[in-house]
Amino acid sequence: MRRIPKLWVAVLLVLAVLSGCGREREGRALSWDNVAISYRVQGEGEPVLVFVHGWCCDKSYWKFQAAHFSKRHKVVTIDLGGHGKSGLGRKAWTMEAFGKDVAAVVEKLDLDRVILIGHSMGGAVIIEAARQMPERVTGLVGADTFLDLEKQYTREQIEQRVARFRANFVDETSKLVRGVFPPGADPALVEWVVRDMSAGPPEVGVGAMEGYLSFDAKEALKEVRKPIYCINSVMRPTNVEAGRRYAAAFEVKLMSGVGHFLMLEDPEGFNRLLAETINELSR
């Protein structure tokens, strides 16, 4: 049997590693305040899809989308600061800070032609991320978010709501999560989401909720002249007219039979609408 020269063995090993990197790899980026932000890269191809989770969630909530879209696109899923595998140690869990987390990952990977996709609170986060790196972003996609860009809470309303979570984070989170699933939702999925979100660090959950309820999307969108598409559940109405008053473009696709976690409840239906949206933004 012919022996393969050692040099060729080394070359083949390097090529194997590089090809594996194109398929899937994990890494960390340092955000503006030195908090380590965990991310995963899968697949290749443009536009690049960057997925941002919601309140007290993590990048695993996009598992069905990452597996599907990484066949044709580079897909990046991120754990925001204080969530999942990312670091703690931050004083203020604001939407601006989370937006900087996303920007830190995008800039470390040197990504262009990026579509930002955010679920729930992640919608506010991707607005902030787009404000910080407009030259890299093609468009924004919200998943059951941007329901009413004109809705604002008073300081008193925010404090009353946050106080309940500060007093009993686990019970209040459990009640909140159960309330955003429709009747007949998969009990196993509901219980998994309840347990997972309730297990997050209370200080992060309370701080992020306060930051989200305080966020002024109208003001932020003055600096974000990018089209926004929404894939929303029919469980709660979407104020399309308000969206079109503040966004460069605002379009909505609706899903029935699902609640707030539509990308987990009906992955096939959600992925079909997201694929349509990606094609429209790419044109």
Distance CA 65, CA 254 (A): 18
Helices 187-198 and 169-179 pack at an angle, to 10 degrees, of 150
| Residue among 108, 125, 133 at smallest CA distance from 37 | 108
Taking alpha carbons only, the member of 35, 86, 28, 34 closest to residue 56 is 86
Please report the pLDDT score of residue 24 as a whole number.
Answer: 83
Query: Are residues 136 and 108 in contact, defined by beta-carbon separation less than 8 angstroms?
Result: no
pLDDT at 16: 40
- pLDDT category, 283, cuts 50, 70, 90? confident
| Arithmetic mean of pLDDT, 65-83 | 98
Give pLDDT, residue 170. Answer: 98
pLDDT at residue 17 in the model: 40
DSSP string, 161-173: HHHHHHH-HHHHH
Structure token digits, residue 75: 């897909």
pLDDT reported for residue 158: 98
Distance CA 44, CA 248 (A): 29
For 22-31, 52-61, 101-110, 267-276, which range has the lowest pLDDT when averaged over its residues? 22-31
Over pLDDT 90: what percentage of the chain? 91
Q: What are phi and psi of 40, to 5 degrees?
A: -130, 135
Asked whether residue 77 carries a pLDDT value surpassing 50, the answer given is yes
- pLDDT score recorded for residue 185: 97
CB 50 within 8 A of CB 102: yes
CA dihedral 15, 18, 23, 27 (to 10 degrees): 160
Q: Summarize the confidence of residues 222-243 as an average pLDDT.
A: 96
Tell me the per-residue pLDDT of 22-57, one tens digit each, with 9 for 90 and over. 468 999 999 999 999 999 999 999 999 999 999 999
Class of the CATH domain delimited by 24-282: alpha beta
pLDDT band of 8, cuts 50, 70, 90: low
What pTM was computed for the model? 0.91
111-149, pLDDT tens digit by residue? 999 999 999 999 999 999 999 999 999 999 999 999 999
Q: Where are the beta strands (DSSP E) in 120-261?
A: 137-143, 227-233, 249-255
